[in-house]
A and B are shown apart, each in its own frame.
Chain A
């Protein structure tokens, strides 16, 4: 009983306890904030980097791609009907994007996709801007430019299809999905970027030649202001742009002269991975397979070459583990190669031999690992700071023990055991850990929950304090995830380290023969 009694009395009567609690408190809050932001960053990276890949990726990492991808898709679905959900082919190439009015040019990575199946394999559709506010109006087929008109009341109106889509959006609007980087939510009376109604007083409609649609990575063309909002005024929806491409043969040689393809900007995609959004443009698979000389080409003998794709993206059915599916798919691929044996040309065989099967995680590992390593580095740094806190607590306890040496002798002369005396100081440490831990977790979670507001407040106070600039980072807000497991681990560590800090002085206190401390005043 005396242990609790003494522990609590020492706690409330010693100022030094307040300093110990303060140091644990701040340490816990600091570690929690850093962990939560790093975890949030990592989760965001993981989530978004997976977004544009499937569960499984099959490719040979060349610009020529590989043949027989259609046959393999069918073969794979037939062999693994329980696991495979969707398989979609993708072609990667490079080109130059040119906007005819301002004549800006940019090198871009061309991603030729089959829009519907690509959207079924990953979250690409969620990254689209116009598709969010005018659902299902984005496609990569031939399109004209939509232009707004004025109705009888003087309000601007869009073509009926877009109006209907927008009504649909308003009906199903989910406040949580509103993207803060968009210019205030577009309503159809101010259809930013959708045509220019001042030139078309009257009925809304479509104008210009039908051209293939292109979806541009948001950061390829648009830039953000200080508030992180994209300025899309420089390129309207449906505006004409030219993509110049360089087709390759299966041998890797340039097939013909660069081809300029006139297209219309139908949408822009923001996957929130800057490395993707700053360079990728998305075009129709079939069309570009042909343009890039990856479709069937007639040989001199009248036969046709096999169409090629750069990559197959596979999505698995719900609940299937991609790590377990991987070896099976590899096996099916090898089986498939066996069925082709002897029926392929030398060049095709070369391209096929380089094909590998990976999970999205392995593919993005270099990128994810970099962030993970940063997390480890930060953990080590803060671990060192925490060690300082432990030492501080150790020193504080040592001081308390020194101050209380005589009291320890008195208590022992009254019959207290060595273990009992040690327990006083160990409990003292543990209680400091518990109080500091709880306060630290409350502070940490509060700060993390309001980290963006705190930053805005600081930035309003002094703009140089804005550490997370949406102009720089692809995420608009400071990402953060408070994981219960992290809270539990940090709390346990706080209690454990405080107890540990108290342990050595507690042992010293306990092992004293009472007379040594009582002999002199």
Chain B
């Protein structure tokens, strides 16, 4: 069953006076429960595609549907809600909030999606859940640490924990091991594979064939199109 479908995606960037056509009619289906790796040379538009799939960026042309709902035909509010509830992101540079501790960073998606009154009713269970996720990614002793007190691998685990806090249908990982050494990268991939085995749909972008080989399926982006 198709979870997400990208149809004829086009995206152009301006670099000074020159225009770069990053995506030139990308078509892509992501099946429910699969782990899909998007590979390609550096600068070929992998990350752009991933961002558009997660509604972090908008295409110049084309559509993206998630569970049958067109992301870019929806209202801004709806798109924000989809990003909160249905999509989880893991970035190459972790992108944790430095003022908040590990537990608070993981709780952030829940905080964003909950009103003040609901939060007071549900904060205990949310905290318990965040602690449980952090336990599964091996960080149960680091709840009160600030991001700067963690190693790169640990930060990325926090980012993964945050991404799955709201149990999204769709987990997007942009070079999740790109900033880590081989050992730490391996740990992160094990973590992602574990999630995938439990039914989590994952799309990851990587230029590393070893990482890509661990996915169920690979597609390669060449010249702004998916290579057949």
Contact = CB atoms under 8 A, between A and B. Distances in A.
Contacts of B85: 415
A413 B99 contact: no
A427 to B, nearest CB: 12
Interface in B55-95: 56-58, 76-77, 80-85, 89, 91-93, 95
A431 to B, nearest CB: 16
A5 B98 CA distance: 14
Contacts of B109: 414-415
B56 A413 contact: yes
Contacts of A9: 99-100
Contacts of A410: 95-97
Nearest to B109: A414
A416 B80 contact: yes
Contacts of A1: 111, 114-116, 118-119
A373 interface: no
B99 A519 contact: no
B207 interface: no
A414 B113 CA distance: 9
Contacts of A5: 111
A406 B100 CA distance: 14
Contacts of B51: 515
B128 interface: no
A417 B95 contact: no
A415 B56 CA distance: 10
A413 B83 contact: yes
B56 A407 contact: no
A409 B83 CA distance: 12
Interface string A9-36: 1100100000000000000000000000
Interface in A289-333: none
Interface residues of B, number: 35
A410 B82 CA distance: 15
A339 B219 CA distance: 112
B81 to A, nearest CB: 6
Given A4-B116, A407-B97, A518-B95, A414 B56 contact: no
Given A411-B108, A515-B57, A10 B83 contact: no
Given A513-B56, A513-B57, A521 B93 contact: yes
B47 interface: yes
Contacts of A444: none
A207 to B, nearest CB: 87
Given A9-B99, A9-B100, A513-B58, A415 B80 contact: yes
Contacts of A466: none
A10 B100 CA distance: 10
Contacts of A414: 83-84, 89, 108-109, 112, 162
A201 interface: no
A139 interface: no
Contacts of A420: 112
Contacts of A515: 51, 56-57
A41 to B, nearest CB: 48
A473 interface: no
A418 interface: yes
Contacts of B57: 513-515
A418 B115 CA distance: 16
A411 B112 contact: yes
A4 B123 CA distance: 15
Nearest to B81: A415
A408 to B, nearest CB: 10
Contacts of B113: 415
Contacts of A367: none
Contact of B91 (A4, A407, A416, A518): A518
A415 B116 contact: no
B76 A418 contact: yes
Nearest to A2: B111
B76 A415 contact: no
Interface string A479-495: 00000000000000000
Contacts of A513: 56-58
A417 B116 contact: no
Contacts of A518: 56, 91, 95
A337 to B, nearest CB: 75
Interface string A348-366: 0000000000000000000
Nearest to B52: A515
Contacts of A521: 92-93
Contacts of B118: 1
10 contacts: A1-B111, A2-B108, A9-B100, A410-B96, A414-B112, A415-B82, A415-B83, A415-B113, A417-B76, A521-B92
Interface of A: 1-2, 4-5, 9-10, 13, 406-407, 409-418, 420, 513-515, 518-519, 521
Interface of B: 47, 51, 54, 56-58, 76-77, 80-85, 89, 91-93, 95-100, 108-109, 111-116, 118-119, 162
The 8 A-B pairs at the shortest CB distance, nearest first, are namely A415-B84, A2-B111, A515-B57, A521-B93, A1-B119, A415-B83, A515-B56, A417-B80
Given A413-B95, A415-B113, 5 more contacts: A410-B96, A413-B89, A416-B80, A418-B76, A514-B56
